[in-house]
Structure 1
Amino acid sequence: MGKKEVMDVIGRGEVLSTYGASPPACAAALAALDVLEEEKISERAERLSALLTKTIKTLNPPHLIEHRGGGMYHTLVIDESKPGVTARRAAVLATLRGVLVGNGFNRLRFSPPITITEEDLVKAVGIIVQALKDVETIGDFPGGEFIN
């Protein structure tokens, strides 16, 4: 609903088509690209990724086979050969402690937001590493019966 002179500016099907490159969608995309460039989001992702990698190396988590990743998406490959040590249990422990960590097979997946502070990033990595330290000895924990 709107004034005829406003409604007639955009032709039939120009705005509502999923893949039609509608003018509002294009304007939004261009604005998003401007923000990425002006706020140097790529450089920030590189800087935070380097800090995340350095923190993992410094804290030297147990059960770690390999660290993969870049930007704001990182994976820790876990050695699950010891009793009680699974990526799933470590992910749940970290999540219970306030850091959302995904898991699949023997991997922990961590993708912090680009807006995270350096201090919070180091703290989050510390929580993940502590979960890896505790997973072998912690025994049962809330919800643990669903995590094998």
Structure 2
Amino acid sequence: YDAIKPDLVVLGKALSGGVYPVSAVLGNDNIMTLIKPGEHGSTYGGNPVACSVAIAALQVLEDEKLAERSYRLGKKLRDALRDMNSPVILDIRGRGLLIGITMQSYNGRTATDFCKKLMENGVLAKPTHGDKVRFAPPLVLSEEELDHG
């Protein structure tokens, strides 16, 4: 997105698919090669179980093309939200399946009320900052599940 290429990326939590505690720092060679083998370590750094879990999770991301699916389904969801043309929705934004909307209250109902109603209908969303709703479905979401929601 936006042709941004960071020098460093810090990953945690989701790197293992939530199966095992794993984190990582990724960076360009000109930065990462400044630290020589043996110069930096941590108590749990290089844990073989954690590394195996992370490798397996990354393999699933690649094999199932989850980044591409997130891009495609995220666009579909944002387009569907826009097509609703709701006067309550003031703004829709997002990257992939991480989508946020800004709402105005309607008949005294807030973003929290909206999220509760969504939950009653089987859709999970998070109210944030009073007037925002965050959608963050799992990357393994199928197109059929998106259409159903």
Task: State the Cα distance separating 1:18 from its structure 2 match.
Answer: 5.3
Over 4 Å off, 4+ runs: none
Say yes or no: does 1:34 pair with 2:71.
Answer: no
Map residues 54-73 of structure 1 onto 2, 5 A cutoff. Answer: 54-73=79-98
% identical equivalent positions? 36
How far the C-alpha of 1:56 sits from its partner, in A, is: 1.0
Which amino acid is the alignment partner of residue 85 of structure 2? N
- Greater RCO (Cα-Cα under 8 Å, separation 6 or more): 1
TM-score computed with the length of structure 2 as normaliser: 0.64
Match of 1:88 among 100, 112, 115: 112
Distance 2:61 2:91 in 1: 31
* Alignment partner, residue 25 of structure 2: none
User: Is the Cα–Cα contact under 8 Å of residues 73 and 109 in structure 1 kept in the other structure?
Assistant: yes
Q: What is the count of residue pairs matched by the alignment?
A: 107
Compared with structure 1, are the counterparts of its residues 20 and 35 closer, same or farther at alpha carbon in structure 2 (3 Å cutoff)?
Answer: same
Among residues 120, 133, 136, which one is paired with 1:111 in the alignment?
136
Unpaired segments ≥5 residues, structure 1? 1-16, 125-148
Deviations 1:69-111 (Å, cap 9, x if unpaired)?
112211110012x432311111111111221121021011111
TM-score (normalised: structure 1)? 0.64
C-alpha change, 1:119 and 1:62, in structure 2 (3 Å) is farther
- Structure 2, unaligned runs of 5 or more: 1-41
More helix by share: 1
Which has a greater percent of strand? 2
Q: Does the residue aligned with 1:32 lie in a helix, a strand or coil?
A: helix
Could you tell me how far apart the structure 2 residues matched to 1:18 and 1:106 are? 42
Tell whether the 8 Å contact from 1:55 to 1:122 is kept in structure 2 after alignment: no
Matches within 5 A, 1:15-30: 19-30=44-55
Query: Deviation per CA, 1:19-77, whole angstroms, max 9, x where unpaired?
Result: 32112221221222222112211111111111111111222223111011112211110
Answer with 1 or 2: which has the greater Rg.
Answer: 1
Given residue 53 of structure 1, which amino acid in structure 2 is its aligned partner? R
SS at match of 1:113: coil
